[in-house]
Structure 1
Amino acid sequence: MSDEILFDRDPKYIPRVAAVHDMCGYGKCSLTAAIPILSAAGCDACPVPTALFSAHTRYAVYTFHDTTEILNGYLDAWRKENVELDGVYSGFLGSAEQVAIIKRLYDEYPQALRLVDPVMGDGGKTYPTYTPELCEAMGTLVSGADVLMPNLTEASILTGRAYPGQDLDDAQVNGVLDALLDLGAKHVVLKGIDRGDGMIRNYVASAATGSTGKRELAHGKLPFMVHGTGDAFASALCGAVMAGRSLAESARIAGEFVRHAMESTQYQPHHDERGVSFELNLNELTGLVHR
């Protein structure tokens, strides 16, 4: 596949990216990750909060507030102030009705890149606040997505397939990639294939070449997992794309950033629950816009 550059960035320009995601007061994920990571990559992160959580759903106790009712007024105010956007990066949604909010952004900012992390679940299970209606609505964001970034659980939901586990051979990877591209995504980054050989693999494919032109990006696997790595990966990938890096290079940068952040995370208290600590590694992304 041609390793495509999706955003031609003027090095003096700071691109604006709407980060459509939830906000957790405690726990390393969603906007808590997206805002600093996009900022480190030289982006103006413009949050659109889809829900407010006291903590992420890995905790036994958390509060959840759906923000759907405020979002149209929120975006009305943006239009009155002539806010401009270069990208729309969407993640966790609080309700099925919020898909219309994202589509409104697509309509009002047709030139903006559509970067879709279809946050719905992991390990073969959906997240507690996700309903079948919300999963179905999330699927309508796939067609026209410039970059779709699912894990294997989300890819299974989107394509209507049974969750296959994390260990996929090349033929199975090709089948998943082609099924996602058939839904109308322009590019797909499939995350988290684990063949038990000490490596985690991500795959990049485009509609132009299909799965036969896919790129494999392998990263060393650490002997533990933590919450929030998917959000950190997607945010770093978006930041690298908006920094003018090619898509496959952006996926490689994001994978290495997450691996290094996980190395830092193991020394933080309560990291098993709280999630990935990336603060000490943000310089890797800042370097994208200064080299």
Structure 2
Amino acid sequence: MRERPPLVLSIQSHVAYGHVGNAAAVLPMQLLGVQPLPVHTVQFSNHTGYGEFKGQVFGAEHIRDVIEGLRARGVLARVDAVLSGYLGDAAIGEVILDAVEELRAARPGLVYLCDPVMGDVGRGVFVRPAIPDFLRRRALARADIVTPNQFEFELLCGRAAGSLEDAVDMARALLRTHEDEGPRLVVVTSLRTPDLSPASLTTLAVDVDSAWTVQTPFVDLSPLPNGMGDVFSAVLLSWLLRGEPAPEALARTVSALYGLIRRMPAGDRDLPLVQARGEIPGPSERFEAVRLA
């Protein structure tokens, strides 16, 4: 009998057109042999990169109902990991934390990856006002892995990173602050500090014992594609669930993102997940994780 694939409860946004949230995360997980259970926090016609959109943010009770249906089918008890992204409302975050607590009681090895979606450089904060506080005070302490971009990382830490070494110290402070039950791995994407070459883009991963970076050439895209963080988190979690150690999972994930970015048609707002899907399990160019002294 074939071993069942890892099962991931993925609770984040969804759009009919474009690739963000679950519309960005589901295919990469499937391509890597992971079975997603997508639960949508919003249903929009398109992401905000295209301007006007239609649809609605779902209430917390809607999310509870969907999870209850999974529980009734016996599916919830088999979940190996929870992935959360754009929340829509802080009350949805509490539903996610309740689910994580329930699942951990039954499966102590459950992994919770929290992508603390709040904003980005140039755009600022684009979520409802209560969400940053919820992520900082509630979700961070319950997550095993957090994957902020630099803007979100600095928002969580309350200050800017002045150098790579400073960013490592800031990440370690998050780990120390929540050492009893908080993140065991902090991954900062799109890191650019004054001491790093402007010709490269750095991804930093920090745990209690080690720190690694993966650097790729900086690709100046205009417009900047939406959904890169959603794809990143889904791919990283998938490789970790498949048993890869953190530095190898990081190298594979960054390499896949770079391959997708390099295959983007000029002017597009979305990563070519379908057209360049081969870049996800087998990137055409490999970038290694380098352990910092």
> Per the shorter chain, which TM-score range?
0.7 to 0.9
Structure 1 residues 246 and 282, CA, compared in 2 at 3 Å: closer, same or farther?
farther
Q: Do structure 1's residue 122 and structure 2's residue 120 form an aligned pair?
A: yes
Percent identity reads: 22
1:196, distance to aligned residue in structure 2 (A): 4.0
State which of 65, 70, 89 in structure 2 corresponds to 1:73: 65
1:124, distance to aligned residue in structure 2 (A): 5.7
Q: What is the aligned partner in structure 1 of residue 207 from structure 2?
A: 206
The normalised TM-score by structure 2 is 0.84
Contact kept in structure 2, 1:240 and 1:285, CA below 8 Å? no
Alpha-carbon displacement from aligned partner over 1:222-252 (angstroms, at most 9, x marks no partner):
2324222111111111111122211121111
**1:1-291 mapped onto 2 (5 Å cutoff):** 12-68=3-59, 69-83=61-75, 84-110=78-104, 111=107, 112-123=110-121, 125-128=123-126, 130-139=127-136, 140-161=138-159, 163=160, 168-184=162-178, 185-194=183-192, 195-207=196-208, 209=209, 213-224=210-221, 225-266=224-265, 270-271=267-268, 274-286=269-281
1:284, distance to aligned residue in structure 2 (A): 4.2
| C-alpha separation in 2, matches of 1:227 and 1:284 | 18
Alpha-carbon displacement from aligned partner over 1:165-194 (angstroms, at most 9, x marks no partner):
xxx522321232123223422111111113
Contact kept in structure 1, 2:97 and 2:142, CA below 8 Å? no
1:255, distance to aligned residue in structure 2 (A): 0.8
Structure 1 residues 218 and 11, CA, compared in 2 at 3 Å: closer, same or farther?
farther
1:11, distance to aligned residue in structure 2 (A): 8.2
Query: Any stretches of 5+ residues in structure 1 without a counterpart?
Result: 1-9
Alpha-carbon displacement from aligned partner over 1:54-90 (angstroms, at most 9, x marks no partner):
1112222012411123111111111111112000011
Alpha-carbon displacement from aligned partner over 1:203-227 (angstroms, at most 9, x marks no partner):
11113x2xxx211111222232422
| C-alpha separation in 1, matches of 2:260 and 2:132 | 30
Amino acid at match of 2:28: I
Contact kept in structure 1, 2:205 and 2:213, CA below 8 Å? yes
Amino acid at match of 2:227: G
Structure 1 residues 287 and 197, CA, compared in 2 at 3 Å: closer, same or farther?
closer
Alpha-carbon displacement from aligned partner over 1:111-145 (angstroms, at most 9, x marks no partner):
321111111111064443x1221111122111132
Structure 1 residues 286 and 11, CA, compared in 2 at 3 Å: closer, same or farther?
farther
Structure 1 residues 72 and 144, CA, compared in 2 at 3 Å: closer, same or farther?
closer
Structure number with the bigger relative contact order (C-alpha 8 A, sep ≥ 6) is 1
Amino acid at match of 2:128: T
Alpha-carbon displacement from aligned partner over 1:76-105 (angstroms, at most 9, x marks no partner):
111111112000011110101011111121
Amino acid at match of 1:153: F
| C-alpha separation in 2, matches of 1:124 and 1:264 | 24
| C-alpha separation in 2, matches of 1:240 and 1:23 | 23
Contact kept in structure 1, 2:118 and 2:125, CA below 8 Å? yes
Query: Any stretches of 5+ residues in structure 2 without a counterpart?
Result: 284-293
| C-alpha separation in 1, matches of 2:166 and 2:198 | 17
Aligned residues: 266
Amino acid at match of 2:18: G
1:108, distance to aligned residue in structure 2 (A): 1.8
Structure 1 residues 285 and 12, CA, compared in 2 at 3 Å: closer, same or farther?
farther
Could you say what secondary structure the match of 2:49 adopts? coil
The normalised TM-score by structure 1 is 0.84
| C-alpha separation in 2, matches of 1:252 and 1:95 | 33
Structure 1 residues 75 and 155, CA, compared in 2 at 3 Å: closer, same or farther?
same
